[in-house]
Structure 1
């Protein structure tokens, strides 16, 4: 099982890996070396994949989360220059495997599968990754075209084709490596090749994005699969349980595992907004001394979302797929402040679903946060719709369905 990215990418992989291990399979997780200790502590075999980047590097995260240029920075400066290294590492890790499951940023996966003639499946974590012309997403590098999402399939298909042409030069390192390895040279790493011809797992609920006619043929949508423990030996702290039990449901503020390292004034603004509203607050990932724990506020470097979100009045977060899934499952209203990638699209989908609101990162101020939070706290429709979505997601047997599909692929 191969994945590159943040904990939002690693955690679904761990959920699948642990269930497959429980079923008796030998599972190896190949990922960024930074995660070795976390993976091995779970009793899973780990193989490092280059590039050996630090997912807490503030400067790198700031570049990748620029709404306009972030995708190009990640692809052309971080991942693709190390494509040969990733290929070599993954080829060695998968040499004895019967099956490979790969995340979409592992652009070496289709090459390894072709070289080893290995069956493989792809794990897709958010609707925007499918680039559907029937259900257009908010694309961070061309946000203007989102206004055309209702213009019809033909217009949106043409926009996507134009996007392919604009980004085609990005993928010359993939074509070059394919030539070197004697593989087919024609490739489309983002719009086609990241989707396995054997099995595509859409690991998000149909609440967030329903299946579309232009999804790949072999797509199965189990829903979100969850893992959020900090370590196998430590759960949430007693102070968190005591705080949640000591008063009204707090507003929970978090920026996931990546944006938190480039948080700007998010936590300071959030604390001031909570004070003005007279609400208690929990700040997950907060490092600022101004968000020190007090009677009405609790600052934690980490807390399992599955334990803290259900007790929230509102959840304020960056809109990553994993965090959005946890908030949806908790059945609580959300305010999404996107920092990049799929986050603006997830925010737009949450708004359309009626379970929350979205506020641009550049517009997140004390005044705007108070206005949006007041709306979420006062309008019972958000509570009702969120509870309905949460009940639906909690009924989805996602982990079993996904692992059954993986086992079925093994048996072919």
Structure 2
């Protein structure tokens, strides 16, 4: 079977799919990954074919749109304000849709990330290709009363309110997303827009597989058939990567440090974040590894090492705790490593994961970038590295996650689709 995986977003939105793609390839399938050109080396390092998609999220986050997104972070007000500025987003989505159609022409099956969900579903329908959603956090299509759509933040609105938000939001924003009906017309399918597409997906019981552990988010009992939680699929390790000698020497020269990194987030807050991290290290007297990421994060101190890229699967198990933005992939990497975590959330699904880690007992709490202070972060970091309950719970969860095979579950579902 020729499978094309389509992803749109940051590095964390792609990395897990390199491992999933490699497993599917090992099972005998031909696998290509559609993603922006800047991620092509990452795809090829996993031994997979790259197909270019339009849309540079890094540039988007670094500009005015990124500043607007970081202002609000998550929740109803943030979602409403973001949708009110949908003009530039529509332009990006139009370009993305055309590139997804071009990259899918010879596919037998499309695996879609949330950022490519709408266009990929329409392309698959127009071209007679099978498809499914493979998402890294609870999909907005997976309506439940147990928690609100994750883009609305961590606060529950009650079972009725949570379900009402999930079912009503597509109808609310559909008029703002002009690209939707236009793209459907160009692809020759009924122009029902976003809300009509969501209803169609729900009626057809389109398969949705979630790549996170049921130990951190159990499958809600009120999800419809066809929606499941299968376990994490991990990034494909780069066999050519070797740790820099400076990093190895630093790790061997003292007790495990604390990791500070915000991945693809907070490009517009580098100076403030760097000052806060420097002050937190001084207050807590921990050793620290600070990863620059897209924000260019840095910190000063005798026991601080600034690094560039380093795979989380290698780095995190060597830490005393990890401080990160709470993205789905980074959250999973921390849980897999078995170390306590603190989330400083920026936007989107990140408050959801910050709250989930706290409920699971692997984190003493979380904070948002907008409300971040050195005092609060120092308090959280101090608790993460000194409270044995967090350390014990982190090890227990890691042991449970190690028994799961999320990528294998996806391979099994694909195999059943062939028969």
Q: TM-score, normalised by structure 1?
A: 0.88
Match of 1:81 among 87, 91, 95: 91
Residue 12 of structure 2 aligns to a residue in which SS?
helix
**Counterpart check, 1:64 vs 2:69:** yes
Query: Per-residue CA shift, 1:284-336, capped at 9, x if unaligned?
Result: 126769625x6511110111111111121111110000000001111111111
Query: Per-residue CA shift, 1:92-119, capped at 9, x if unaligned?
Result: 2221111111111112101111111111
**Counterpart check, 1:13 vs 2:13:** no
Residue 35 of structure 1 aligns to a residue in which SS?
helix
The equivalent residue for 1:36 is: 40
Cα distance in 1 between the residues matched to 2:228 and 2:149: 23
**Does the CA-based 8 Å contact 1:137-1:345 persist in structure 2?**
no
Match of 2:330 among 317, 323, 331: 323
Match of 2:289 among 257, 282, 288: 282
Aligned-pair CA distance for 1:193: 6.4
Match of 1:91 among 96, 101, 106: 101
The equivalent residue for 1:211 is: 219
**Counterpart check, 1:104 vs 2:114:** yes
Cα distance in 1 between the residues matched to 2:60 and 2:240: 23
Between 1:208-217 and 1:277-286, the stretch displaced more is 208-217
Aligned-pair CA distance for 1:392: 0.8
Cα distance in 2 between the residues matched to 1:71 and 1:239: 46
Match of 2:230 among 222, 240, 244: 222
Between 1:200-209 and 1:177-186, the stretch displaced more is 177-186
**Counterpart check, 1:405 vs 2:413:** yes
Aligned-pair CA distance for 1:378: 2.9
**Counterpart check, 1:177 vs 2:183:** yes
C-alpha spacing 1:213/1:179, structure 2 compared with 1 (3 Å): farther
**Counterpart check, 1:154 vs 2:182:** no
Between 1:314-323 and 1:383-392, the stretch displaced more is 383-392
Match of 2:353 among 331, 342, 346: 346
C-alpha spacing 1:269/1:167, structure 2 compared with 1 (3 Å): same
Aligned-pair CA distance for 1:194: 7.3
Residue 101 of structure 1 aligns to a residue in which SS?
strand
Match of 1:355 among 362, 378, 402: 362
**Does the CA-based 8 Å contact 1:56-1:258 persist in structure 2?**
no
C-alpha spacing 1:329/1:343, structure 2 compared with 1 (3 Å): same
Cα distance in 2 between the residues matched to 1:194 and 1:132: 12
C-alpha spacing 1:264/1:295, structure 2 compared with 1 (3 Å): closer
**Counterpart check, 1:248 vs 2:255:** yes
Cα distance in 1 between the residues matched to 2:389 and 2:413: 37
Cα distance in 1 between the residues matched to 2:349 and 2:309: 23
Structure 1: which 5+ residue stretches go unaligned? none
C-alpha spacing 1:305/1:290, structure 2 compared with 1 (3 Å): closer
Cα distance in 1 between the residues matched to 2:210 and 2:297: 40
Cα distance in 2 between the residues matched to 1:147 and 1:347: 12
The equivalent residue for 2:339 is: 332
**Does the CA-based 8 Å contact 1:332-1:386 persist in structure 2?**
yes
Cα distance in 1 between the residues matched to 2:97 and 2:319: 43
Cα distance in 1 between the residues matched to 2:233 and 2:127: 28
Structure 2: which 5+ residue stretches go unaligned? none
Q: TM-score, normalised by structure 2?
A: 0.87
**Does the CA-based 8 Å contact 1:235-1:304 persist in structure 2?**
no
C-alpha spacing 1:71/1:313, structure 2 compared with 1 (3 Å): farther
- When the two chains are superposed, the root-mean-square deviation of aligned CA atoms in Å is 2.8
Residue 115 of structure 2 aligns to a residue in which SS?
coil
**Counterpart check, 1:51 vs 2:55:** yes
Residue 363 of structure 1 aligns to a residue in which SS?
coil
Cα distance in 2 between the residues matched to 1:128 and 1:97: 24
C-alpha spacing 1:147/1:28, structure 2 compared with 1 (3 Å): closer
Match of 2:7 among 3, 24, 31: 3
C-alpha spacing 1:52/1:155, structure 2 compared with 1 (3 Å): closer
Cα distance in 2 between the residues matched to 1:27 and 1:289: 35
Cα distance in 2 between the residues matched to 1:401 and 1:62: 38
